[in-house]
A and B are shown apart, each in its own frame.
Chain A
Amino acid sequence: MTFLLTTCRVLMECGCSSNRVESLLSRLGQSWGFDVEAAAIPTCVWISVRREGERVHEMTRIRTWSVDLDRIAKINDLVELIHGHRVTVTEASTRLDAIVASRPPWRSLATLLAGGGLSVGLLYFYGSPLIEMMLVFPLGMIVQAMQKYVFAAENKRYLADFLSAAIVAAFALIFKQAFAEVDVPRLTVGALIGLVPGLALVNAVHEIAQKNLLSGVGKLFEAMIVSLSLVFGVFFVFGFVALVAGGTAP
């Protein structure tokens, strides 16, 4: 039971969809001769295990959400081993602990550079001038650093979004003073592209389409709250500057 709970918690935390987690638990149960039913929503998973008239119910809370494709791939390999009866429960638990404790496949510097790179890519597709693409690179890196390392704790997610947006907006206004050709809204969107919840929105609709209504609606609301955190962060800075310096926000 502990193995099942840890597996589904890690999968949900790594961005796996609810219906896949539910079907995976049933499959794992079949491999070991149990009848497993599960209900997964973004904040928790309930599991019911039944065998020979005995029934056990458990629940695990999901406190963080991110996307970690490396861990999903590793758990996929482990599930295949279990399904092929090539590992015992004890061995599987040991391997799962190792997966949980494993380091990300990419170093911190690579992740930060990638954060800057995808902001530059977006501005290229928007047809931004070269100076804007150069300026957005460090901003994209700062946003990645805030999300992945500075405010990685579970209860600081929306604070991280708000502060990231505020910092990006502040720098965008400063850059506008130095370089006239800088477009503040475009630079802001470019730097925040790693945070805008487009993927969450798509996942939400995908879950709803597969009749996982609770999960879909939960993700839809999450996408909305993240969007609002970002927008309030940007407008907080714009409003503050307008109050201090006069004039209107860009």
Chain B
Amino acid sequence: MSGISATLFAGDGNTLFRWLEFGIIAFVSAACFAIVFRTPKRYFIHTVVLGMITCLAIHLFPKHVNIGFSTATVALLIGSLSHIIARTTGQPAQGFLIPSVMFLVPGTYVYRAFSSAVARDYNATAEGLLAAVTITLAISFGLLLANWLVPSRRTL
């Protein structure tokens, strides 16, 4: 927790302003993902808030924490939250989960790894792919754990 508070309040007096700006951008980005994935309008705000929580949670983790651990923890958090929202709204959990998970997925790592491969920089390729695999496994582990902790009551 001290690491998280250090992340929140470190730096100059503008830190809280920066976090406010960060929260707004996270909200807008989550809304964009929700629109691109055609989230139903009646559950739009649930999805966006969950996406914003994901974005803030992953950035609140101190940088020295292992990326696999932080990703798995955030995946567990949003997986559990999406199941809880699904139970209260009577909708499939994946409807809330997919736009939020987009903040965690290692798309950029995959792209950069393949770019490095084409450019024959095989060290960077291996590094990028390893990071992508770590993050992917961490997300899957976190989501599976969430499925187990808060089991779905619906088929979809």
Interface residues of A (CB under 8 A from B): 11, 15-17, 20, 23-24, 27, 67-76, 79-80, 104-106, 110-111, 113-115, 117-118, 121-122, 124-125, 144, 185, 189, 192-194, 196-199, 201-202, 205-206, 209-210, 223, 227-228, 230-232, 234-235, 249
A residues near B117, Cβ cutoff 8 Å: 231
Tally of A-B Cβ pairs under 8 angstroms: 157
Task: Please count how many residues in chain B sit with their CB below 8 Å of the partner chain's CB atoms.
Answer: 50
Chain B positions within 8 Å of A, measured between CB atoms, are 25-26, 28-29, 31-41, 43, 55, 59, 90-92, 94-95, 98-99, 101-102, 104-108, 110-112, 114-115, 117-119, 132, 136-137, 139-140, 143-144, 154-156
**In contact, B144 and A70 (Cβ under 8 angstroms):** no
Contact of B31 among A20, A73, A114, A198 (CB under 8 A): A114
- The answer for the CA separation of A144 and B92 in the assembled complex, in Å, is 26
Q: A114-B35, A201-B106, A234-B115 are in contact. List 13 more A-B contacts (CB 8 A).
A: A69-B39, A69-B98, A73-B40, A76-B156, A198-B107, A198-B108, A202-B139, A205-B139, A205-B140, A209-B144, A210-B144, A230-B111, A235-B118
- The contact of B155 among A27, A70, A73, A231, by CB within 8 Å, is A27
Q: List 26 A-B contacts (CB under 8 A).
A: A15-B98, A24-B155, A67-B98, A68-B37, A68-B38, A69-B95, A70-B39, A72-B92, A72-B94, A73-B43, A76-B91, A111-B35, A114-B31, A114-B33, A114-B34, A117-B29, A118-B29, A192-B111, A196-B107, A197-B110, A198-B108, A205-B140, A227-B114, A232-B118, A235-B115, A235-B118
Query: Which residues from A are CB-within-8-Å of B36?
Result: 111, 114-115, 118, 144, 194
Asked whether B91 lies within 8 Å of A193 as measured between CB atoms, the reply is no
* Minimum CB–CB distance for B151 against chain A, Å: 13
Complex contact B92–A110 (CB within 8 A):
no
